[in-house]
Amino acid sequence: MPDPAISIRNLTKVYPIPFKRERVTAVHDLTLSVEPGQVYGLLGPNGSGKSTTMKVLLGLVPASSGSTQIFGRDSALVASHEEVGYLPENPYFYKYLTGEETLRFYGKLCGLSGSALRDRARDLLKLVGLENAADRRLGGYSKGMLQRIGLAQALVQEPRLLVLDEPTAGVDPAGSREIRDLILEFKSRGMTILLCSHLLGQVQEICDRVGILHNGRLVREGALESLIAIENQTQLIFENASPDLLARFEAEAAACGARLVEKTKPHTTLERFFLEVTK
């Protein structure tokens, strides 16, 4: 059986408060596992411990207790980072570098060089739709472009795991959809993705499994469909059903002891509507 892409066991992270005896427990006894190829949504309100969990996983802060592993390797070991691509929330990168220079810089950090690096940078720029902005400095990039170059740098060494912290924060709906489509493409390629987001609709569209953190504790965890399904209710959607047919259904249901909870027309999403009118 292959190692989980992410394995977090009894992780606790406590931050001391400077000049005070108090301590803040950001993450409390967290245990979760993300299997290879899964898209996992880590949800929670601000201050719930999502970013701290990601930072421990990436070796940016040490765990107070417990363990974190990436594909079976201790994530505190630098070598384990070969398997990870990370996009932080609101990344700035180096404004004085162009898009291509940025990718080449991150590529060199991953041991790439020469024509392999050059080709990889060009492929990624094409993948994220920035080939026309390759020679522009990042200082002139829009928020959406910065997020896309951020995604490209995260992918530069072709990692098996992608950690994305609010990848669409501050991006307009069109840009947000582009990024979401890219994530879906990575998912279709079999990449494992850990996604932190406040946009629950987007998480619902993308993720296979979610965990909800609250006050540093994992309060719910499981497959998305099973978590959000209402077990004692069933939804039927008809097309071109006459009022007469619907009345017969309702009568039959009532005769069998079922209660009609809601009768409504399905809606499109505001996002789809917005994109249609601004196309």
Least distance from C-beta 217 to other proteins, angstroms?
Answer: 21
Query: What tokens appear for 233 in the block?
Result: 């209710």
Give the residue carrying structure tokens 């309060």: 219
Residue 137 phi/psi, 5° resolution? -70, 150
Largest distance between two CA atoms of the chain: 74
Least distance from C-beta 238 to other proteins, angstroms?
Answer: 42
Hey, which residues between 7 and 36 contact other proteins (CB under 8 A)? 15
Q: What 3-state class would DSSP assign to 258?
A: coil
Q: What 3-state class would DSSP assign to 175?
A: helix
Give strand pairing partners of 218. Answer: 213
Query: What tokens appear for 175 in the block?
Result: 């840009």
Hey, which residues between 204 and 243 contact other proteins (CB under 8 A)? none
What are the C-alpha distances in Å from 193 to residues 39, 59, 190? 5, 17, 9
Quick check: 180 binds other proteins (CB under 8 A)? no
Hey, which residues between 241 and 270 contact other proteins (CB under 8 A)? none
Q: If binding means CB under 8 A, how many residues of this protein chain bind other proteins?
A: 43
Is 15 or 274 the residue whose CB approaches other proteins more closely? 15
Is 197 or 212 the residue whose CB approaches other proteins more closely? 197
Quick check: 84 binds other proteins (CB under 8 A)? yes
Under a CB-based contact definition with an 8 Å cutoff, are residues 118 and 126 in contact?
A: no
Burial class (CB in 10 A: 0-12, 13-18, 19+), 228: exposed
Least distance from C-beta 234 to other proteins, angstroms?
Answer: 40
Give strand pairing partners of 223. Answer: 209
Is 88 or 212 the residue whose CB approaches other proteins more closely? 88
What are the C-alpha distances in Å from 241 to residues 162, 189, 259? 45, 39, 20
Least distance from C-beta 112 to other proteins, angstroms?
Answer: 7
Least distance from C-beta 189 to other proteins, angstroms?
Answer: 6
Is 82 or 271 the residue whose CB approaches other proteins more closely? 82
Hey, which residues between 90 and 129 contact other proteins (CB under 8 A)? 90-94, 96-97, 105-106, 108-113, 116, 120
Point out which residues bind other proteins (CB under 8 A). Answer: 15, 55, 58-62, 78-79, 81-82, 84-94, 96-97, 105-106, 108-113, 116, 120, 150, 153-154, 157-158, 160, 163, 189, 191
